[in-house]
Amino acid sequence: MTLVIAIPGSEDHAGKLARHLGIDLIAPELRRFPDGELYVRLPRTDDHAILCGSLYPAPAERFMEVALIAGTARDLGAKRVGLVAPYLAFMRQDVQFHPGEGVTARYFGKLVSSVIDWMVTVDPHLHRLPTLDHVYSIPTGIAHAARAIAEWVRDQVDEPVLVGPDAESEQWVAAVAAACDAPFEICTKTRRGDRDVSIDLRGRTWNGHTPVLVDDIVSTGKTMIEATRVLRAAGASALMCVAIHAVFADALHAELAAAGAAGIVTCNTIPHATNQICVAESIAEATRAFL
């Protein structure tokens, strides 16, 4: 038998997954000792335990929770332990950009692979790495947000043209565009620092279509803000920004509105006030392959 164990903070996701799969959900007891260490207790387990929760905020801490809950589940009799992480952290530093840097995507993949038997996530940041197999030694499955985003775009925007802010976004933008039968354009981004980016539209025009910006992650938001500013300067009317993962490392609503965005909506891979697009069905589909 299989059950879902909710990683604290991701009870909503875990509940949806358990409902979609028609299996039990339990919550671990997790608390901090006075010295900061973690106490873990599980009311029970089954042969197959699925830990469910996004590895954000505080991804390093979330990993410790995953490792300790997985260890507890195994001690209580689980023979297989899977991880359904709607947002997979540590995917952006996937190569050494500058001398001396660590390739943390690889080290993190090794850590997760040492405590978990299989993993499902939603649209991980795969760009320079072609597949998760390059950094994870366990079987992995990918759920896609494109179908759910396309439904939202179809419902909300007349004559859309999907716009990706950078080359990395093309895989997501193209998939959404195909799913809602709309054209798409990809801009060019130059990143000079964590909060310093510029976007080049390369003279694109919209031919009466309404641009909708689509990206996988909103972190500081500088990519979305700059892309919005450049699109508005090129004549676009107030436009919506859509992202899969609402990391929101910085508060950005005021800056985004000032740049000319009509608003921002995200998928519910990370709980956030902007979540309007539910990807629970895709996650359940990808998870079924491991049952």
Binding site for ligand R5P (CB under 6 A): 165-166, 168-169, 197, 215-223
Which residue, 211 or 221, is less far from ligand R5P as judged by CB? 221
Please give the backbone phi and psi of residue 67, each rounded to the nearest 5 degrees, phi first.
-65, -40
Cβ-based nearer residue to ligand R5P, 220 or 268: 220
We find the least distance from the C-beta atom of residue 226 to ligand R5P, in angstroms, to be 8
CB of 91 to ligand R5P, least distance (A): 9
Residues 6+ apart with CB under 8 A from 197: 189, 190, 191, 222, 223, 226
Name the pairing type of β-strands 118-122 and 140-143.
parallel
Cβ proximity to ligand R5P: between 169 and 210 the closer is 169
DSSP 203-245: T---TTPEEEEEEEEESSSHHHHHHHHHHHHTTPPSEEEEEEE
Least distance in Å: CB of 247 to ligand R5P?
7
Give the nearest distance from C-beta 251 to ligand R5P in angstroms: 12
151/170 Cα distance (integer angstroms): 18
- Compare residues 72 and 220 and give the one whose CB is closer to ligand R5P: 220
Taking the CA of residue 49 as centre, how many other CA atoms within 13 Å lie in the half-sphere pointing to its CB?
Answer: 28
